Amino acid sequence: MSKWIRSGAVLGIVLVMCGGLAFAAPKQVVIGITMQGNQSGFVQYITSGMWEWQKKNAPNVKLDVVFADDDAAKQLSQVETFIAKKVDAIIINPVDKVQGATAVDAAAAAKIPVFTVNTITTSKKVTAHVGSDDVQSGYLQMNRIISVVGEKGKVAYVDAVLGHSAQIGRSEGYAKSLKEHKGVTLVVHDTGNWSGDESMKLVENWLQTGKKIDAIACMADCQLIGVVTAIKNANMAGKIILAGMDCDPLVMGYIKDGIVDNSIWQDGVGQGSNVVRLAVDAINGKKVADFYLPYEVCTKANLDHYMTLAKDRDALAKKYF
């Protein structure tokens, strides 16, 4: 005879023979996870949060993690593979807002709970999203810059990859802030494609062509690191207000030295842990909803607090990468 056996997160049944009798064994619970790419420090924070939560709270659950290398087509293929494997849930860190919707829709059509983390898609079929409001991050960052340069300041910003949900949201936040401060001039903006090298060359060109800029905002610290190099090479360190996002340790060192004014703290570890938590809840039949963590502004005034948080975060990332 057979019967259902509960194992940790879910119910599962596999018939095996023991002494001539068939009995039910627990099914391995698998969550398929496709992340943008493992070169980004912030993606590593999210992924580390996933593994750490699973290790501490759901050891019977397997996390099948793959990286899309910032390729939306590759990410779709990865989701299709998860569907073929009949995983219990899928988590997507979308490479592209529009193309990622196809992957979400495919998972939903297969009746697999599907979650997005950190970045979003245009699909309406997501079971739940875990992240932070990118509009808020752009708004906070631009407001901070304006508070430093004044109501007649000339600002610029370095875009992320165009079409990426963070780029869209942060641009919207910038526009909202600038609309409220009509005396501030947006001199220029262009994409740095999440790249320090590309962002460095972009800003070098701005300065070489004589653009008058009081402040530059970057949509990620990985870009800002390249911008700092451009500013230093132009002997403009401390003369142009610089702002980033994600509180990279190197950037926080720049804040301490007065080279960078601020970075925006985003809890990547918290995003990773909470999306796995919700996925396990959904597998167990519990009702789930979107979960947002707030952005916070890190400046020299509160730097010690965020350096402590970053130290813990980086130690966790080194544990898994």
Judge if 225 and 144 occupy the same domain.
yes
What's the predicted TM-score (pTM) here?
A: 0.80
On the question of pLDDT at 1 being above 50, the answer is no
Judge if 138 and 256 occupy the same domain.
yes
Question: Is 314 a domain residue?
Answer: no
The mean pLDDT value for 34-50 works out to 90
Q: List the one residue out of 37, 294, 293, 298 whose CA is nearest residue 164.
A: 37
The mean pLDDT value for 264-293 works out to 97
Tokens of 320: 């898994």
Question: Is 294 a domain residue?
Answer: no
Question: Is 283 a domain residue?
Answer: yes
Question: For the chain, what is the domain count?
Answer: 2
The mean pLDDT value for 161-171 works out to 91
Measured CA to CA, the distance from residue 200 to residue 226 in angstroms comes to: 4
Give the side-chain half-sphere CA count within 13 A for 273: 15
Q: List the one residue out of 124, 69, 109, 116 whose CA is nearest residue 90.
A: 116
Question: Is 312 a domain residue?
Answer: no
C-beta atoms surrounding 152 within 10 Å: 11
Where in the sequence is the domain holding 209, given as residue range(s)?
A: 134-265
Question: Is 191 a domain residue?
Answer: yes
CATH of the domain at 159: 3.40.50.2300
Judge if 154 and 259 occupy the same domain.
yes
Confidence band (pLDDT; 50, 70, 90) for 90?
very high
Judge if 156 and 93 occupy the same domain.
no
Judge if 206 and 243 occupy the same domain.
yes
Please report, in angstroms and rounded to a whole number, the separation of the first and last CA atoms in the chain: 46
On the question of pLDDT at 211 being above 60, the answer is yes
Residue 138's pLDDT is what?
98
Q: Which amino acid is at 35?
A: M
CA angle 200, 203, 209 (to 5 degrees): 135
pLDDT tens digits, 225-257: 999 999 999 999 999 999 999 999 899 999 999
**Does residue 91 contact residue 276 with C-beta atoms inside 8 Å?**
yes
| Domain stop point among 265, 280, 314 | 265
